Structure 1
Amino acid sequence: MSTPAPRRVRALLAAAVCGLLAGCVQMPTSGPVVEPQVSADVDDAPGIYFDPRPPQAGEAPADIVAGFLEAMKATPISTTVARQFLSRDAAEAWTPERQIITYAELGTEEGESAVRIPMTDVNLYDDRGAWQRTRATRDLELGLVQEDGEWRIDEVPDALVVPDSWFDDWYERVSLYFFDPTSQVLVPEPVFVPRGDQFASSLVRGLLAQPTGESADVARTWFPPGTTHGLSVPINAAGIAEVSLSGDPDSVDDQTARRMLAQLTWTLRQDASIRAVQLSIGGRMISYQGGSTQVGLDAGSAYDPSGPGTSRALYALDGDRVVAGDVGQLAATAGPLGTTDYGVRSIGVSLGGSRVVAVTGDGTQLLTAPLDAPEADVATVLSGAVDLAAPALDARDRTWVLDRAAGRARVFVAVDGVASEQVVPGVTGRRVTKLLVSRDGTRLVAVVRGRSADRIVATRVRQASDGAVLGFTPVRTLPLPAEGSTRIRDVAWRSPTTVSVLGDITDDFSQVRTLSVDGAPGLIATGGTTRLRGRFRVLVSAPVDDPEVYALGGREVSDLSRPERTVPDLAPGVTSVTYAG
C-alpha cells in the first residue's frame, strides 16, 4: 500500500465538488417544484437529473473522495458511478443498501493514508429506510490505496452517505404495514423510500423484512420466512402492481394469503399509480378469499389501523352529561351517562361509538356504560386513583388511562372491565400531564413535565399473541421546535404515525406542529406547522383521513383543517371535546 502525500483536503474537496456540479446537472424544461423539508406525494419526484462524472486519470486522493461523495447523489438514485471510485475488492464488497447516513454539513481534516471527514447533524436509517437515531457529529472514515497507478477508496462503510437536503428531495416518508401480534389490526411502521420508478419495489422489499428482537412483540408479518423479492414491481397500464416473490406456495393457506394481501394493498396504496395488486409466490398466483387474483386496494379494510367502522362524530360533556354530534350541534346521548348526572369531568369513547368511559369529578374513579342504551348499568372500572386524566381506547376495546398521582404517574389498562397497572419505563413515576395510545394499540405517547421544559416521549407496547401486555420498548424523546414556550399545552393523534403538539409562541400566539411518532426528523406534509392568534389549550384530532381538527381556547374554536371556515363557539358548559378512541 502506498501512502498519499499530505494535502489540504478541504480546498480540494470544495474545488472538486464545484467542478462536478458544474458539468453534470441536467435541468429539464418542465416538471414539478418540490418544497424541501416537507414530505411530498410520490409523483412529486424532483425534476433534476444528475449523472455524476466517474474518476479521471491522475486525480489526487482528495479528488477521488470528493468524486465519490458527489457520485452518491446520482439521480435517479444509482451507485454505479460511485462504485467506480472504489478499489476492485471494495467495489465488490460494498453494500450501500444496508443503511443510509445523512448529514447537514461536511468538514475535512488532513490525512496520510486515510481521510477522516467530520459530519454534523447526522441521521442514521436502516436497510428498510426506518430512522434509527440522530447524532450531533460523526466522522466518515475512508481508506485509500493506489491501484494500477490510480488512487481508489479501499475502506468504506456499507452505507449510502448523502446530504439531508438531497435525502429530503429524493426519499418519501411512507409506512410499511405489518400486523399487531394478535393479527387483528394492521400496524404502520414509518420508513423513507426512494421516489420515482423504485418506489413500489422499495416498499415491497421493506415489507418482506421479518421483525426481530423486541419488534417481534410489537408487530408481525404474514409473509412466510424465506419469501424474497425479485428486482422490481412492474405496474401495467391498468395500474396493476405485479408482485412476484420466491418461496414455497404450499405454505400459503387462505388465512395467510388474506393477511399477506392486506399488508401489500395497504402498503402499495401509497403509490398513486397503483389501482390493484397481483401477487404470485413461487410461480403460483394468490387469490383473495378464493376470488380474483387482481386484488383491489380496499382489501384488508377490516384491519384498518384507525379502526374499521370508527365513529367520526364528536363527543363531549355538556355539564356532566355525554353529548355527541358536530361541533355546533351536540345532542344528548341516550345511555345512562347521557341522561343522568354522574358528576364526571372527562370521557373517552370506543372506536365504534358504542361505549363511553368517564372519569369522576374528583378524578378517583373510572366508570363505563353503553352510549345509547338507556336501561344499561354504569360499571366502575377503576377506583382509588388520585387524579385520572381523560382515558383512551384502542381497536381491541382496551381502555388506557393515566393517573397523574401528584407527580408520580401510574398507567392502567382495562380489559373486559378489569384494570391492571402497567409499569412504563420513562413514564411511570414521572410528572406526566397527558397520555395517548394509538388505535392499533402498539404505541404510547406521553407528555412529561420537567422543571424548565416539557418533553414528549414515545414507546411501543409489547404484546403476546392473545393481546396480553408483555412490557414496553425503551422510550424515545420526540424532537420539539426551539421556537416559543417550552411548555406543551396539549398533544393529539394526527394520523396513525404522527402527533400534533400545541404550545405557545408568545402571550398572543399559539402554535401547532406535527411530528412523526418514531422521532424521525423533518416536517410532516399533513398537519405541518400552524400558527394561531390567541391562547389555545386543547387539540381535538383523530388519526383518520380528512378529519376536522380543532384547537380550543375556552369556548373559542379554530378549525385547523379548514382555516377559512368560521366555527361557532362552544355552548356554555361544554367540555372534554373528543373523537372516538
Structure 2
Amino acid sequence: MGADRVGGVRRPVRAVVYAACGVVLLAGCASMPDRGDLRDVESTPRQDSQLRVFAMPPREDAPPAEIVQGFLEALTSDDPQYATARQYLTGGASGDWRPERSTTVLAGGPDIQVDRVTERDSTDNYAFTLTGSKVARVDGEQSYTPMGGHYSQPVHLTRDKKSGQWRIDLLPQGVVMGQSDFQRNYMSVNKYYFASNTWADAAPSATAVADPVFVRRRVDAMTQVVRSLLSGPTKWLEPSVSSSFPAGAALRRGVTSLVPDDQNRLTVPLNEKASGVGREKCREMATQLLFTLQNLTPTVDAVTLQGADGSTLCSFESGRAETVATRGSVKRPDYLYFVDDKQRLVRIADTGTASGAEPVPGALGEGVQKLQSAAVSWDERTAAGVGSDGRSLLVSSLVAGSALDAPVLQSQGKAEDDRLTAPSWDARGDLWVADRDPARPRLWVLEQGGGEPLEVKVPGLKGRVDAVRVAADGVRIALVVKADNNSKSLLIGRIERDEKAGERPVVSVLGLRSAAPELEDVTAMSWAGDSRLVVAGREQGGVQTMRYVQVDGSTPEGPPPAALTGVQSIAAAEDDRLPLVASSSEDGIVRLPSGAQWQKVTKDGMAPVYPG
C-alpha cells in the first residue's frame, strides 16, 4: 500500500492571539493525537489583521505527526525570526534552513502524507510528504509570482538519541502556507525607483515607478520595507529603473527597528556606503523613502537620513517630494473624454455630468472624421483617434481651429476587428497602438505622436495584441493578448529603449508576465493606480466579472468594483479620487464614485477615457 493521506478534521490551532482588547488562546474541542493518526494542516480562516499570532513550542514527547503539524502552524505565526518554528527542528536542520528564501502559497493548507515504508523500517526515523496545489511564490526579493501545478516536498524526522524527542532533520527551504494564511500574514507594498530614460515632458522632475513587494504584515513592516528599498529594485523591473541610493547602501550596523517619532518623522541611519552623498542625491533618496513609506502608512510626514557617524545627511518633508519626482500622471485630469453618438470626441469636467459634455477643441471634435476610439495625452493638449472603420490613426492638437492631418498609421486588416486597437499615450508623449491584422500583427509606437512609426519588438509573445494601455510612468505596459484558441489574457511588460546617438531607438517590450491568471477571456482593462489595474473578463466556465489586480498577478486588498454587465471598455484614473468609468452594451457610459453604485452618464456614447 502506498502513502496514505489521513484527512478530515483539522486539529486545534496551537497559537496565542493578542487583540487590542485582550489575550485570546485559540483552542478547539478535539485533542492532538499522540500516535500516528494525522490530520492535514488546512489554511486557517482569515482573521482580523490587528490580531497577533504567536506559535506554541513542541510539547514533551509529541509524536511525529504533531511535530510536523506544529511546525507548519508555527510558520503562520508572527514570530519575527521563526524562533519557535526552529524548536521543531534538529540543530543541523535549523542551521541550514533559510525561511527568507521563499514563501510558497498553496490553495489550501499543506496536505501531509505519511511514508509508510519508512514508518515500518525504523523506530527512530519517520518521513512525510507535503503536498498541495500551488497558487503563488514570493521569492527572496519579496516579489510575487503566480504559479500553478502540484506541490510535493519531503519532510523527514529523527528521534534525538539523548532526549528521545522527535525533531525534523530534513525539510524544504523557505516557508509554505495556505492562501488565507498568506493573506493574513503578508501585505503588498510599493517601493519606488526612478524611470531610467522616461521623463514627463510637462514636469521638471523624474518619474517614480512602483515596484510591489510582499512583507510580513505584523513583523515590523516599516523596517522590512526600508531594507527592501535599500537593497534595490526587483530583477524584473531593474533594467528600466534606477535608485539614488548608492550600491551597498543599507541600514547602519546594529539598527534593528525603525519607528517614527511623535512628530511623524522617521530617522533612517545609513551605513558608510551612503555617507558621502550630496544634498541633491540625498533629496532623491528621501523622496524614494517618502513615496514608499506613504504607500505603507500615512503617518510618516518627513524623513531624516543619517550617515554612518550619526550626522544628518538631509531632512525632507513629504510635501516637497513632488518637486523631485512625480507619481502617476503629472497632474489631476481636467476632463473625462468619450466618443458621442455623432462619433465626435467630447469631454466633460471630471465632476460634471453628460449634460455638460462639449466637443473637444480642434478637428477631432468637429465630427468630420468619425471615430470609434480615442486617447488624450497626459498634458491634455493632443488627442489621437481611430477612425470608425478601425483602419486609420489620426492625431490632432486640442486647440480650436487646428487642422486634421493625414493619418499617421493605417491598417490593412480586412475586417474591422482585425485593424487598429484604441491608442494610448505614455508619460514622455509617445503614442502606442497595435495593429491586429492577422497577416502581420504588430505593436507600434510613434515618437511624440508623429513621424515614422516604430515597430516594437515583443519577444516571447504568443498571439496578437488586442488592447494596449501604457502606465503613467512610461515604463510598464499592459497588453491584452489574444491566443490562437481565441482566449484573451492580460500581460504586463517592461518597456526598454536602446537609444544610440544618431539612430532611431530600438523599442522593446520585455519580461511579459500574467497579471490576471484566473481570467481566460479579458474583455477590457485600464490602469487604476501605480501598480494596480481594473479588469473585466471571465473565469473558465464563469460569467463576466470585474476586479482589481496587481501588476505582479496578486489580488489587492479591498472589495472589487460593483458588478456591471456587458462591459465593453473601462477608464480609470491614476488619481483614485476620480470615479471608475465604463462603457456597457446595456447602459451606455456609466461611472462608479467611491462608496456608491454605478450611475448613468449617458446612453449615447462609447469608449470613455481619462488622459493617458
Secondary structure of 2:114's counterpart equals coil
Please list, as runs of the form range in 1=range in 2, the aligned pairs for 1:350-429 lying within 5 A after superposition.
350-372=377-399, 374-375=401-402, 378=405, 380-383=407-410, 386=413, 387-406=419-438, 408-416=440-448, 417-418=450-451, 419-425=453-459, 427=461
Choose which of 182, 188, 192 in structure 1 pairs with 2:210.
Answer: 188
Choose which of 89, 93, 97 in structure 1 pairs with 2:100.
Answer: 97
- When residues 27 and 198 of structure 1 are mapped into structure 2, their CA distance, relative to the original with a 3 A threshold, is closer
Choose which of 52, 64, 67 in structure 2 pairs with 1:64.
Answer: 67
The residue type equivalent to 2:189 in the other structure is V
The residue type equivalent to 1:160 in the other structure is V
1:455 match: 489
Farther-moved stretch of structure 1 (380-389 vs 165-174): 380-389
Q: After superposition, give the CA deviation of every residue in 1:287-319 in whole Å (9 maximum; x if it has no partner).
A: 2xxxxx142255135532312124241123343
- When residues 536 and 473 of structure 1 are mapped into structure 2, their CA distance, relative to the original with a 3 A threshold, is closer
- When residues 24 and 459 of structure 1 are mapped into structure 2, their CA distance, relative to the original with a 3 A threshold, is same
Choose which of 514, 519, 525 in structure 2 pairs with 1:477.
Answer: 514
- When residues 7 and 63 of structure 1 are mapped into structure 2, their CA distance, relative to the original with a 3 A threshold, is farther
Contact 1:261 1:300 in 2 (8 A): no
What TM-score, normalized by structure 1, do the two folds share? 0.84
Contact 2:195 2:475 in 1 (8 A): yes
Aligned counterparts of 2:243 and 2:150: Cα–Cα separation in 1? 35
Please list, as runs of the form range in 1=range in 2, the aligned pairs for 1:30-69 lying within 5 A after superposition.
46-69=49-72
1:152 match: 167
The residue type equivalent to 1:444 in the other structure is I
Q: CA shift at 1:516, angstroms?
A: 1.7
Aligned counterparts of 1:23 and 1:127: Cα–Cα separation in 2? 26
The residue type equivalent to 1:494 in the other structure is A
Q: CA shift at 1:439, angstroms?
A: 1.4
Q: After superposition, give the CA deviation of every residue in 1:319-368 in whole Å (9 maximum; x if it has no partner).
A: 35432223412213333433472344322111111111222344333222
Contact 2:521 2:539 in 1 (8 A): no
Contact 2:528 2:573 in 1 (8 A): yes
Q: CA shift at 1:392, angstroms?
A: 0.3
Q: Does 1:535 align with 2:566?
A: yes
Q: Does 1:109 align with 2:113?
A: yes
The residue type equivalent to 2:90 in the other structure is S
Q: CA shift at 1:273, angstroms?
A: 2.5
Q: Does 1:281 align with 2:307?
A: yes
Contact 1:315 1:323 in 2 (8 A): yes
Q: CA shift at 1:396, angstroms?
A: 1.2
- When residues 91 and 441 of structure 1 are mapped into structure 2, their CA distance, relative to the original with a 3 A threshold, is same
- When residues 514 and 372 of structure 1 are mapped into structure 2, their CA distance, relative to the original with a 3 A threshold, is same
Aligned counterparts of 1:312 and 1:526: Cα–Cα separation in 2? 27
The residue type equivalent to 1:455 in the other structure is S
Secondary structure of 1:105's counterpart equals coil
Choose which of 477, 499, 506 in structure 2 pairs with 1:444.
Answer: 477
Percent identity (aligned): 24
Aligned counterparts of 2:192 and 2:334: Cα–Cα separation in 1? 23
Contact 1:173 1:193 in 2 (8 A): yes
Aligned counterparts of 2:406 and 2:283: Cα–Cα separation in 1? 38
Structure 2: gaps (5+ residues)? 24-42, 119-124, 199-205, 414-418
Q: Does 1:248 align with 2:280?
A: no
Aligned counterparts of 2:246 and 2:58: Cα–Cα separation in 1? 44
- Kindly tell me the number of residue pairs found equivalent between the two proteins: 549
- When residues 423 and 233 of structure 1 are mapped into structure 2, their CA distance, relative to the original with a 3 A threshold, is same
Choose which of 573, 592, 607 in structure 2 pairs with 1:560.
Answer: 592
| RMSD (CA atoms) | 3.5
Aligned counterparts of 2:551 and 2:410: Cα–Cα separation in 1? 31
1:501 match: 535
Q: After superposition, give the CA deviation of every residue in 1:172-199 in whole Å (9 maximum; x if it has no partner).
A: 1221111222263111112222224612
Contact 1:54 1:81 in 2 (8 A): yes
- When residues 527 and 356 of structure 1 are mapped into structure 2, their CA distance, relative to the original with a 3 A threshold, is farther
Q: After superposition, give the CA deviation of every residue in 1:59-92 in whole Å (9 maximum; x if it has no partner).
A: 3333322221122222365511111222223323
2:578 match: 547
Please list, as runs of the form range in 1=range in 2, the aligned pairs for 1:168-187 lying within 5 A after superposition.
168-182=183-197, 184-187=206-209
The residue type equivalent to 1:543 in the other structure is E
Contact 2:279 2:313 in 1 (8 A): no
